């Protein structure tokens, strides 16, 4: 689901305050992935989705902006981390780029 949302973001046109919220959500996704926090990742993805577009853009939304460069760079970084995850891991975890295995937060 995270990869799907990340793939949608470049097409969004949002107000600056929404892009700020997307940026915060992307940073939260990065921290959650680095910590192996699956629940935190789900929350961060939901935050990003909530900042996204909800309706058809009308003339009153002329102040909408394309994806900021810093968000594009964060998306590329997150997609790389998600794509490097072990697809055979069905326990809800993933493998970080350093090769460490992260889990859904369960003690093991």
Helices and strands (DSSP H and E) totals, the chain: 4, 2
pLDDT tens-digit readout, 69-108: 999 999 999 999 999 876 555 345 554 444 444 444 433 3
pLDDT tens-digit readout, 7-22: 999 999 999 999 999 9
User: Tokens at residue 105, please?
Assistant: 């937060």
Write down the pTM of the prediction.
0.67
Q: How far apart are CA 31 and CA 36, in angstroms?
A: 9
pLDDT at position 65: 87
pLDDT band at 54 (very low <50, low <70, confident <90, very high): confident
The domain ranges of the chain are 2-89
User: Tokens at residue 83, please?
Assistant: 């794509």
Taking residues 44-64, what's their average pLDDT? 77
User: Tokens at residue 108, please?
Assistant: 């093991």
pLDDT at position 64: 83
Sign of the torsion formed by the C-alpha atoms of 21, 73, 93 and 52: positive
């Amino acid at each position: 689901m995270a990869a799907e949302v990340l793939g949608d973001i470049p097409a969004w046109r949002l107000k600056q305050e929404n892009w700020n919220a997307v940026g915060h959500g992307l940073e939260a996704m990065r921290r959650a992935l680095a910590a192996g926090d699956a629940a935190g990742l789900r929350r961060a993805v939901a935050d990003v989705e909530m900042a996204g577009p909800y309706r058809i853009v009308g003339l009153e939304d002329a102040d909408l902006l394309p994806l900021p460069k810093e968000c594009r760079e964060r998306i590329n970084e997150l997609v790389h981390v998600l794509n490097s995850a072990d697809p055979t891991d069905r326990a809800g975890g993933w493998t970080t780029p350093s090769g460490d295995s992260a889990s859904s937060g369960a003690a093991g």
